[in-house]
Structure 1
Amino acid sequence: MERISAFFSSMWDTILVKHQEGIFNTICLGILLGLPLLVLLTLVFICCHCCWSRPGKGSRPPEQSRGKKKRRKKDEEDLWISAQPKLLQMEKRPSLPV
């Protein structure tokens, strides 16, 4: 128990010495001591988010995701990029007589 107390006492003394040396050291110490806490909070948030957003076994899926695909309007254009570049498509067109 004395060794643990001595360890934390020496850590506190180091923090006080660095704080007295300047504001830059204080900021660096604050960042270094805050990073493990930030990582821990981020991991807890991610784990909780993954657990709560997972759909349950007994719940029904939403109406839109039941396999019915959204039908496209007739006026809507197909926006897929063609596999052939425009240069190859231009070669297939008949040329006009000059």
Structure 2
Amino acid sequence: MEKISSFFSNLWSLIYTKHEQGIFNTICLGILLGLPVLVLLALLFICCHCCWSRSGKNSGQSERKKKKKKKKKGEEDLWISAQPKLLQLEKRPSLPV
């Protein structure tokens, strides 16, 4: 327990001495000490987002399959090929050399 309290007291004394040296050191220390907190919050957000999206994913797949089946019966699949694009390039006038 003494080692932990000495660590935090040494950390606090370092922060205090850097603050006394100037505002630039204070800002740099704030950023350096804030980055691990920001990373932990980002990881927590990503993990929670993944967990919440998995539960809704199973019900969404069955609805998607039903929609795909309806589209196949009622609509045709229209495919746009790259050939019209090539024809448009040929119709453009060439630049004078």
TM-score in same-fold range (> 0.5): yes
Larger relative helix fraction: 2
Equivalenced residues, count: 86
Amino acid corresponding to residue 45 of structure 1 in structure 2 = F
Distance 1:58 1:50 in 2: 13
**Two-structure CA RMSD over aligned residues (Å):** 3.5
Q: TM-score, normalised by structure 1?
A: 0.65
Distance 2:80 2:61 in 1: 29
**Is 2:17 the partner of 1:17?**
yes
Distance 1:58 1:11 in 2: 49
Structure 1: where are the runs of 5+ without partners?
90-98
Distance 2:3 2:28 in 1: 27
Aligned-pair CA distance for 1:64: 4.3
Q: TM-score, normalised by structure 2?
A: 0.65
Cα displacement string for residues 28-87 of structure 1 (whole angstroms, at most 9, x for unaligned residues): 1010000000000000100100110114587364644433347359xxx743324xx66x
Amino acid corresponding to residue 21 of structure 1 in structure 2 = Q
Amino acid corresponding to residue 80 of structure 1 in structure 2 = S
Distance 1:37 1:57 in 2: 30
| Aligned counterparts, 1:9-88, within 5 A | 9-55=9-55, 59=59, 61=61, 63-66=63-66, 67-68=68-69, 69=71, 71=75, 78-82=79-83
Distance 1:25 1:46 in 2: 32
Report the structure number with the largest CA radius of gyration.
1
